[in-house]
A and B are shown apart, each in its own frame.
Chain A
Amino acid sequence: MSKSKKKVDKKNFHPNILCFCCNWCSYAGADLAGVSRFQYPSTIRILRVMCSGRVDPAFILEAFKDGIDGVIVTGCHIGDCHYLKGNEFARDRFERFKEVLKIFNLDKRFKLEWVSASEGKRFAEVITEFTNKIKNLGPLQAL
């Protein structure tokens, strides 16, 4: 098996995006986008975790190392966390982590977003917007 790493022109570029969702809010928001048939680009692959607080920056580095073009972490809005403050720790952690990503010029390929269980439409919009951003940036060049 080989990793797909072909050079594609920006126009026909279909990015590969990894999307972390927390079990209680943003995954439910993605479900509602589904139930409501809100269409969004087929660029993301959702990886469910129990809480956005679970997402280790190492996962994001791993994804970029593998050649994934963008990573988006989603969780409950601040104050809504099922585990009280997991999302706040995620927020603080990724604020610092963004500085690391800047060094590698990867910060624009990473995003942290809050999506509630009732925001199906917003989930679709967030994904569309992030996809467009990654499309503009083009494929991730090998580090």
Chain B
Amino acid sequence: MAKVGAVLVIGGGIAGIQASIDLADSGYKVYLAESTTSIGGVMSQLDKTFPTNDCAICILAPKLVQTGRHENIEILINSSIEKIEGAPGHFKVDLTQRTLRLDQEKCTGCGLCAQQCPIEAIDLFNEKLSNIAAISVKFPQAVPLVFSINKDKCIGCGICKGICKAKAIDYDLQDKLITLDVGAVVLAIGFDEYDPTPLTELGYGKHLNVITSIEFERILSASGPHSGLILRPSDGTIPKKIAFLHCVGSRDRKHRKDYCSSVCCMYTTKEAVIAKEHMNIIEPTIFTMDIRAYGKDFDKYIDRAKDEYGVRYIRRRISSIKEIPDSKDLIVCYETKNGKIIKEIFNLVVLSVGMEPNQKANELAQKLDIQLNEYGFCKTCTFSPVETSRSGIYVCGSFATPKDIPETVIEASAAAGCVNILLSEARNKLVTKKELPEELDVSDQPPRIGVFICHCGINIGGVVDVPNVVEYVKTLPNVVYAEHNLYTCSADTQTNIKEKIKKNNLNRVIVASCTPRTHEPLFQATIREVGLNKYLFEMVNIRDQCSWVHMHEPEKATAKSKDLLRMSVAKASQLIPLQEQEISVINKGLVIGGGVSGMTAALNLASQGYEIFLVEKEDSLGGIAKNIYRTLENDDVQEYLKILIKNIESNQLIHVFKNAQINGISGYIGNFSTNISYGNNGKIIDLEHGIIIVATGAKEYQPKEYHFGKDQRIITQTQFEKDLFTSDKIKGLKSIVMIQCVGSRNDDFPYCSRVCCSEAIKNALKAKEINPNIEIIILYRDIRTYGFKEKYYNFARDKKVIFIRYEEVEPPELKIKNKELKIIVTNPDLGKLEINPDLIVLSTGLVAPIKENEELAKMLKVPLNEDKFFLEAHVKLRPIDFATDGIYLCGCAHSPKDIRESIAQSNGAAAQAVKILSSEKLVTSGLVAVVIEENCIGCGSCVEVCQFNAIELIEKERAFEDFTMPIMKSYVNPALCKGCGTCGAQCPNSTIVIKHFGFEQIHAMISALLIQS
């Protein structure tokens, strides 16, 4: 049976969005089923994101729009899964789409209904902190932008039905049953926030000023209940002293939440920092057990919170909160270092609630016949992190384990990468390509502008005198046609626009309505359907910039609409058709690094039929995994590695080059050329390929500390692991001390290596297994067993492994006297302690191969971070790709990570790469910069500002009367240019034309601003 080239993605949070985009971009039809009325998930509720303090909606909204507009993605909102039948490659899925009580096709999202609705409902998006109408949209940037009626609240008064000009409202619309044929399913149902009500001692739900972190997130948001002002619930005053309590619903064995939620330490710090940024008088205090800042650049964020923002961290777990009845302030009790009990008063307490499995997880698991793990999250395996227990059904994001946004995005791409392996033969089978007429050549014609002005129901027309504006526009130069529409975006108006273009021979079109950020692609597609180049279009936003913000000044709003239209007409007169160039693609890939990451990525791509060059600098494959015997979860790494290497070496599409060195890389996306020397003789070869995956890994830090190398009883965790698994050396030992953070989290290496805590616990457990009486003491700063790794931390403590904390300022001291090892450690609570171990194991961090990375980064023209790991395009939403197109990143080259995470990121990198490899041609944007060569003085200012390596200086010959000399001219590669225009403004000679935002075009708009009719 032929496989079906369609995929069902369940869950429209950032995981589902990313998986959908990746799959749709690589040639599959995607159905994205979302249980609420808009995609966006929890990320859309966040104010900022760590560790960059990026505005969440700023970076998410473009992805929402991209998903909503994607021709291969069909979003099914308000829907739930009923059942699934079939096998990998051909599933049949039944869904119920609950009625919105209005026709989604007709609703334009104008919002008139909500303004007139007399009934208030609770705003769940704002975490019940404010009210909305009974007919509402989930949030202003919702995709799709449709309203829905809250059936529990609606009284059926009929006001909305009467006022809806689009006639969208239909109370009698019933739920729909939909059946889909798909080849694979991706689960991205996310998590629920832990509800702290059962923890009565914390008083949530009882004390007004005890709130959850997600509620606080909405309070922080500029679009939240108080427009970003931080006001506490009891009396609306600014809470000067705020306490944040960590691990509420996490790391709590008593309440059967004995896993770590992975994100709370960081988001709490972010909330504290942002609160301080919003209102400087706020004094945030965070009560914590460990600070788990284990991700890329996380520790630096914590340091800034402490040093720059004065966030106070107190290492205590708070067990109860008391309210002061009159002031509604809260008393938090804790013990100081010297045993004193302190009662501190706070104005607001924020509970950092953990992640729980989605409440629908159980039901869904039964319907889909997949297994959940002991905590109710989706069960997965270390070596197949995005595969569920049922073949053909994949999982990503926090449904698999609690995780942050970048890791969620990585896993979403990984899920897409694994679907690719299953369904590649069905690629491009179900996607539709629109047949478009030949483009009309209008370059020689004088501008004939048609203007369509929208009433938007009464959203615009109720304030702006639209007919008057239409009459005015008709008087402007080059305007040959103008009309007004009730809804310019409706389907029938698109037909109308096309007719009017033909009838009036229009060659430029302007729509004055709402925002081009959401609607420009729609109108561009409309004019293209009748042969007009899509760049012969301009949009004027007279709703968000006129009627809605000058509601009480109709005359001024009308005058402003005229001004904006006049400016737009001036620009439209200058518009020229822009060509999107096609560039060819070499359908082969280069993978740099032959560790687990590189091999995983190579195998993924080869299994889809693409030829791969895999270069490894050493004489054998395997990378750092060669030193790992088991994972913390007790998976056999060596066995896995053996099979992986066998699969690589037996795959005819993968060409392995060992002892290889890269001498040079040139070219751009689709067309790279790399020169390498390899083998014992340094044979040189040129490789031609369309993409590059960087999987160069990291290496173990070789300590200078603790007499390492001078005494055989002082070894690293890697040596210890080898001894444990391959010898019986430790059998006779009585006492072992492990020292954490050797070469991590210090001035030289100011980051956490992420894996060392788990490695130490893994080896401690193994040692206890071999010799139950052995004493093992782990000296640590924070135990960072995030996610389900926490279980093994608990195991270790149950097995009597002793954990003693030290602080950075007072690291453990080693003394060797009469051949006796003596460790002196200072614990903040217990004071100085002395230990006499037989063996000292140093948990050394992972470091970037600095020299190699610097050389490679230079050749690839991609950046490194301060710690010399490769720096991705965007730490939150583009964790796999570089700003330079066609180059991707995975594994420890990105930052320290474990095998499971490396495998996920590698499959994710393959998913990004295959978008390019599977296309015959790439189409560049028309919005690019172009250098007028004759005026270019070759100064290189443009090269310096371009963040995408799109510009280079090329040597040209300049002929004089009797001689020629070489001169430099700048050249913009349209395949790499993003059209931001920074080079155009930077050019001292104004010789770079920014297409569509050109000098003349902007000038025309400025000049038109003051000209009046």
Q: A-side interface residues toward B, CB under 8 Å?
A: 1-4, 16, 18, 23-25, 27-28, 30-40, 42, 45-51, 53-59, 62-63, 66-68, 76-77, 79-80, 82-86, 89-90, 93, 116-122, 124
Contacts and interface: CB of A to CB of B under 8 A. Distances in A.
B220 to A, nearest CB: 10
B350 to A, nearest CB: 20
A59 B1006 contact: yes
A46 B567 CA distance: 10
B859 interface: no
Given A54-B984, A84-B947, A35 B548 contact: yes
B845 to A, nearest CB: 27
Nearest to B137: A35
B1007 A117 contact: no
Contacts of B544: 30-31, 33-35
Given A56-B984, A119-B222, A16 B1010 contact: yes
A116 B1013 CA distance: 35
A137 B49 CA distance: 40
B47 interface: yes
A125 to B, nearest CB: 10
A97 to B, nearest CB: 11
Contacts of A80: 54-55, 58-59
A116 B55 contact: yes
Interface size class of B (residues with CB under 8 A): 35 or more
Contacts of A79: 52-54
B550 A118 contact: no
A68 B1009 contact: yes
B552 interface: yes
A33 B56 CA distance: 17
Contact of B1006 (A53, A57, A68, A84): A68
Given A39-B552, A59-B1003, A83 B978 contact: yes
Interface string B559-601: 1100110010000000000000000000000000000000000
A38 B546 CA distance: 11
B242 to A, nearest CB: 21
A53 B929 CA distance: 13
A37 B548 contact: yes
A72 to B, nearest CB: 13
A120 B1003 contact: no
Contact of A1 (B53, B517, B563, B1012): B1012
Contacts of A34: 515, 541, 543-545, 548-549
A18 B206 CA distance: 52
Given A36-B140, A56-B990, A68 B1010 contact: yes
Contacts of A38: 549
Interface string B375-403: 00000000000000000000000000000
Contacts of A118: 47, 55-58, 221-223
B945 A53 contact: yes
A38 B465 CA distance: 20
B304 to A, nearest CB: 13
A49 B1010 CA distance: 20
A5 B1010 CA distance: 9
A132 B1006 CA distance: 22
B986 interface: yes
A51 B982 contact: yes
B223 A36 contact: yes
B517 A50 contact: no
B979 interface: yes
Nearest to B115: A37
B1012 A117 contact: no
Contacts of A31: 515, 517, 541, 544
Contacts of A32: 140-141, 223
The 8 closest A-B pairs by CB, nearest first: A34-B544, A54-B981, A53-B982, A83-B980, A117-B58, A51-B980, A42-B556, A116-B55
A124 B549 contact: yes
Nearest to B947: A84
Contact of A66 (B516, B550, B1006): B1006
B645 interface: no
A24 B62 contact: yes
Nearest to B1012: A4
A47 B567 contact: yes
Interface string B685-699: 000000000000000
A132 to B, nearest CB: 16
Interface in B506-555: 515-517, 541, 543-546, 548-553
Nearest to A71: B1006
Nearest to B223: A118
B162 to A, nearest CB: 22
A49 B1002 contact: yes
A16 B1009 contact: yes
B923 interface: no
A54 B563 contact: no
Contacts of A68: 1006, 1009-1010
Nearest to B545: A46
Contacts of A48: 516
A77 B55 contact: yes
B1010 A121 contact: no
A42 to B, nearest CB: 4
Interface in B955-1013: 978-982, 984-986, 990, 994, 997, 999, 1002-1003, 1005-1007, 1009-1013
A117 B55 contact: yes
B208 interface: no
Given A42-B557, A42-B559, A56-B985, A25 B1009 contact: no
B539 to A, nearest CB: 9
B567 A121 contact: no
Given A3-B1010, A24-B62, A30 B1002 contact: no
Given A16-B1010, A50-B997, A118-B221, 13 more contacts: A2-B1012, A4-B1012, A31-B515, A34-B549, A42-B549, A42-B560, A45-B1009, A48-B516, A50-B980, A56-B984, A58-B990, A86-B982, A118-B47
Nearest to A84: B947
B883 interface: yes
Nearest to A23: B517
A66 B1005 CA distance: 11
B227 interface: yes
A89 B557 CA distance: 34
A87 B545 CA distance: 23
B422 to A, nearest CB: 34
Given A1-B1012, A24-B62, A62 B1003 contact: yes
B982 A121 contact: no
A35 B517 CA distance: 13
A35 B873 CA distance: 31
A45 B553 CA distance: 16
A66 B985 contact: no
A24 B618 CA distance: 45
Contacts of B1005: 47
A83 B564 contact: no
Contacts of B947: 83-86
A68 B563 CA distance: 13
A73 B429 CA distance: 47
B986 A89 contact: yes
Of B52, B515, B1010, B1012, the most chain A CB neighbours within 10 A belong to B1010
Given A39-B552, A46-B541, A53 B985 contact: yes
Contacts of A16: 1009-1010
A31 to B, nearest CB: 5
B750 to A, nearest CB: 19
A62 B1006 CA distance: 8
A3 to B, nearest CB: 5
A90 to B, nearest CB: 8
Interface in B909-947: 927, 945, 947
30 contacts: A18-B1006, A27-B515, A34-B543, A36-B223, A42-B559, A45-B1009, A47-B1005, A49-B997, A50-B927, A53-B982, A54-B981, A54-B985, A54-B997, A56-B984, A59-B1002, A62-B1003, A62-B1006, A80-B59, A82-B62, A83-B947, A83-B982, A90-B985, A117-B55, A118-B56, A118-B57, A118-B222, A118-B223, A119-B222, A120-B223, A121-B227
